[in-house]
Structures are given as structure tokens and as C-alpha cells.
Amino acid sequence: MKTKEMENMNKVVKEIGTGPLCTNAALLDEVQKTLLDKGYAAAKVLVSQRAGADEQDEITRALAISQKYMLSPEAGAKVIQNLNVIKSGKW
């Protein structure tokens, strides 16, 4: 990743913040793969179809924040992959 993208990733992690998250790893893996293969729009559609209300809100929020800071799909996928760690405050 480029230095600017790393700086933006740090901003994304900070904006996501900490708090409870009840997302299973299988769903995050599926979102990550969809993001890498088909992009942000397809990942958001997948989340709307497969996630419960709380999961949907948090994952969609993380995707939107990643887009706001113009992260590549690869960097966004890393954020999604580590979403539970980020929310725990251990990132």
C-alpha cells in the first residue's frame, strides 16, 4: 500500500472506533472476497442481503468510511477482515 493510503487507513480505523460488534468471521470473509472481486457496491449489496440489522449497520458503515477516505478495494478488504479487532480497540 502507498503511504497516503496507509495514512487514510489509520483515519478509517479511528473513525470506525471501538464498541461492541457481533459479526461472525464467515460473513466478514464473504464481504472481503466480494469487495476484492466485485468492488464496494457489490459488497454493500451482499451485506444488505446476508447480515442482520446490527451487523449490516456496522459493516456498511465501515465500507462507507473506507470509500470516504478513498481506500482501494484491497485496503478496504483489510479493514473488513480486521473489523472485529478494530472494534475491540486492539488494532
Residue type, 52: G
List helix spans (H) across 1-91: 3-16, 25-38, 40-50, 53-68, 73-81, 83-88
In a domain, 54, yes or no: yes
**What's the pTM?**
0.91
pLDDT along the chain (91 residues), means of 10: 84 91 86 98 96 90 96 96 89 73
Range of the domain at 8: 1-13+44-91
Count the domains in the chain: 1
- Please report the pLDDT score of residue 53 as a whole number: 84
In a domain, 20, yes or no: no
- Please report the pLDDT score of residue 52 as a whole number: 86
